[in-house]
A and B are shown apart, each in its own frame.
Chain A
Amino acid sequence: MSVRRLELFVSMVLRGGVLVSGAFMVAGLALLWLTGDVSCPFGVLTLEWVIWGDPFLAPSHVLFLGFLILVATPVVRVAASVVAYISDGDWVFAAITGAVLLVLVAGMVMGLG
Chain B
Amino acid sequence: MTPLFVAEALLIALGSGFLGALLGLGGGVIMVPLLVFALGLPIHIAAGASIVAVVATSSASASVYVRDEITNMRLGMFLELATTLGAVTGAGLMAGASEAILKTVFGATLLYASGVMWHQMRSTGRSWVPMPNDHFAEKLGLGGSYYDAARGETISYGVSRSLPTFAISYIAGVVSGLLGIGGGGIKVPAMNAVSSVPMKAAVATSNFMIGVTAAASALVYIRNGFCDGFVTAPVVLGTLIGSLIGARVALRVRGVMLKRVFIVVLLALGLRMILSGVGLV
Give the interface of A toward B (CB within 8 A): 4, 6-8, 10-11, 14-15, 17-18, 22, 25-26, 28-29, 32, 38, 40-45, 60, 63-64, 66-68, 70-75, 77-78, 81, 92-93, 96-97, 99-100, 103-104, 106-108, 110-112
Return chain A residues, CB-CB under 8 Å to B67: 7-8, 11, 15
Contact of B281 with A by CB under 8 A: no
B197-218 contacts to A (CB < 8 Å):
211-212, 214-218
Given contacts A18-B240, A71-B215, contact A96 B77 (CB under 8 A): yes
The answer to whether the Cβ of B232 comes within 8 Å of any Cβ in the partner chain is yes
- In the bound complex, residues from chain A placing their C-beta under 8 Å from that of B64 are 11
Contact yes or no, A78 B222, CB < 8 A: no
CB pairs A–B below 8 angstroms (6 shown):
A4-B69, A7-B71, A17-B59, A67-B229, A96-B77, A111-B219
Cβ contact within 8 Å between A63 and B233 = yes
Of A28, A64, A103, the contact of B222 (CB 8 Å cutoff): A64
User: Among B83-91, B122-130, B147-155, B256-264, which stretch is in contact with chain A?
Assistant: B83-91
Contact A25 B220 (CB under 8 A): no
The smallest beta-carbon distance between B192 and chain A, in angstroms, is 21
Q: What A residues does B81 contact at CB under 8 A?
A: 96, 99-100, 103
Instruction: Tell whether B4 is near chain A: CB-to-CB under 8 Å.
Output: no
Q: Given A18-B60, A64-B229, verify A103-B88 contact (CB < 8 Å).
A: yes
Number of interface residues of B (CB under 8 A): 49
A7 touches B237 (CB 8 A): no
Chain A proximity mask over B60-81: 1 for CB below 8 Å, otherwise 0: 1011101101010110011011
Which residues on B sit within 8 Å (CB–CB) of A70? 52, 55-56, 59, 236
8 A-B pairs closest in CB distance: A74-B211, A14-B63, A11-B67, A111-B220, A15-B63, A107-B216, A11-B66, A103-B84
Give A43 to B223 CA distance when docked, in angstroms: 8
A residues less than 8 Å from B88 (CB atoms): 103, 106-107, 110
Residues of B close to A71: CB separation below 8 A: 52, 55, 215, 218-219, 222
How far apart are the CA atoms of A64 and B153 in the complex, in Å? 44
Chain B residues near A28 (CB-CB < 8 A): 229, 233
Chain B neighbourhood of A29, CB < 8 A: 233-234, 237
Contact status B59-A18, CB under 8 Å = yes
Query: Contacts of B224 on A, CB cut-off 8 Å?
Result: 43-45
Measured between C-beta atoms, what is the minimum distance from B133 to chain A in Å? 15
- A96: chain B residues at CB < 8 Å are 77-78, 81
Chain B residues, CB < 8 A from A68: 222
Contact B215 A92 (CB under 8 A): no
Residue of B nearest to A17 (CB): B59
Given contacts A38-B230, A99-B81, contact A6 B211 (CB under 8 A): no
Q: Give A93 to B78 CA distance when docked, in angstroms.
A: 8
Residue contact A67 to B52, C-beta cutoff 8 Å: yes
Contact B226 A41 (CB under 8 A): yes
What residues of chain A lie closer than 8 Å to B227, measured between beta carbons? 40-42, 60
Q: Is B225 an interface residue (CB 8 A)?
A: yes
User: Is A45 touching B226 in the complex (CB atoms < 8 A)?
Assistant: yes
Q: Does B39 contact A (CB under 8 A)?
A: no
